[in-house]
Amino acid sequence: MTLSAMPLTPDVLSQDGNSMVLSMGPQHPSTHGVLQIMLEIEGETVTKAEPEIGYLHTGIEKNCENLFWNQAQTNVERMDYLAPSNNAFCYVMAVEKLLGVTDEVPERARQIRVLFAELTRVASHCFWLGTHAIDLGALSGIFYCLDLRENILDLQEAAGGARMHPNYLRVGGVNGDLPAGFLEKLDALIEKYPVRMRDLRGLLQKNPILQDRTVDVGIVTPQEAVAWSLTGPSLRGSGIAYDVRKAFPYSGYETYEFDVPTREEGDSYARFLVRLDEMDEAMRIVRQVRKRLEKPGPTMTDNAKIAAPPKETIALSMEALIHHFKIMSEGFRVPPGDVYQATESPRGELAYYIVSDGGNRPYRIRTRPPSLYNLQSLKGMAPGNLIADLVVMIGSLDPVFGEVDR
């Protein structure tokens, strides 16, 4: 590719003196996906950074407009592929609001949704921790992280049937109750987590090399964080304790005890610590859900207009057969209207703005992708820093490119 064919902005091209333009990525190990950054550098110092995204654009929003409401959920899970259940969680709650069936979702289904949202938060942060440590030169941490994540993927597989994209949540509840032996596996994870986390904290948190690389790197003041629309751990690392679970509780989060970890420094190390503390808080919620899951109950609404009746009833009831056929062949219809539903994903405020025209397919699904806006702040953060520190900043923002590009 010639330099003239590169998608440069006019600003980046206007160079003078000793500066040069460097294209970092889109195939670069430290960019956590397909991210290209056009850098204007003087020596090793970045004077301007312009991230170029779109290499992973798959048109998920367009595809969803041509699928049934339940099929679209499968695609939506592919956006943030490190935390699939969080996407599905937000989506099903938005559709339920449009349908007006939020109160019909059984209590146990809400608990299971919270359980998976928090488990995927831990899994996602595990992956971030491992890869971020690799960026900083600590190669051994990721094996401990992925081991912990693997236990959570096992739980996803047990409940939903697939490791990466379980597609377990449904509009109206969850797809079937937790399988036999699930709670024992969960207990084993709860028992293992503190030990593993103590090792990881010992290995990384007080590591002098890691601190040298991250302290005072990529400082974001609260004003800048709000101006760039940072959310999630990136915002809380700058001292603003905005957490959608606390500010706009959903699915029973107001009944769980948990804190919102914040730091005041606003640098990469602060964001690092916030995420570590968040993992502990997520496991604290998981332990509380575990206690509530002792009590059995229904996991799917009995409203046959939106949820197919159980397979066993088909042979016994004509109505069940008809409802089952209708749901499977043409889905359900959603009354016209628009809704904005926000949730706290591992990366920040994940929200769907959904419009329905009364048909059996979504009219429009607009995602509010936290990764996109978090990544955009790199433009303000990078100038004046070394290229090596740029790698740290990308890692500390934790972007997922399935979500940035959709």
> Given the rule CB under 8 A, which residues bind another protein?
7, 9, 11, 53-54, 57, 59, 61-63, 66, 97-98, 100, 222-223, 226-229, 231, 238-243, 246-248, 260, 262, 264, 329-330, 333, 335-341, 349, 351, 353, 355-361, 363-364, 366, 368, 372-373, 376-377, 379-380, 405-406
Cβ proximity to another protein: between 159 and 225 the closer is: 225
Alpha carbons 90 and 69: distance in angstroms, whole number: 13
Which of 153, 156, 126 has the alpha carbon at shortest distance from 141?
A: 126
Which of 84, 113, 119 has the alpha carbon at shortest distance from 251?
A: 113
Q: How far is the CB of 20 from another protein (least distance, A)?
A: 21
Helix (H) or strand (E) holding 340: strand 337-345
Burial 162-171 (b: 16+ CB within 10 A, else e): eeebbbbbbb
Cβ proximity to another protein: between 201 and 364 the closer is: 364
Q: How far is the CB of 287 from another protein (least distance, A)?
A: 21
Cβ proximity to another protein: between 157 and 265 the closer is: 265
Cβ proximity to another protein: between 18 and 223 the closer is: 223
Q: How far is the CB of 59 from another protein (least distance, A)?
A: 6
Q: How far is the CB of 311 from another protein (least distance, A)?
A: 20
Alpha carbons 185 and 166: distance in angstroms, whole number: 17
Cβ proximity to another protein: between 27 and 329 the closer is: 329
DSSP 356: E
Cβ proximity to another protein: between 104 and 154 the closer is: 104
Half-sphere exposure (Cβ direction) of 284: Cα atoms closer than 13 Å: 14
Contacting residues for 4 by C-beta, under 8 A, at least 6 apart: none
Q: How far is the CB of 161 from another protein (least distance, A)?
A: 23
Q: Where are the alpha helices (DSSP H) in 50-83?
A: 60-64, 69-76
Q: How far is the CB of 372 from another protein (least distance, A)?
A: 6
Could you tell me the maximum CA-CA distance found in the chain, to the nearest angstrom?
82
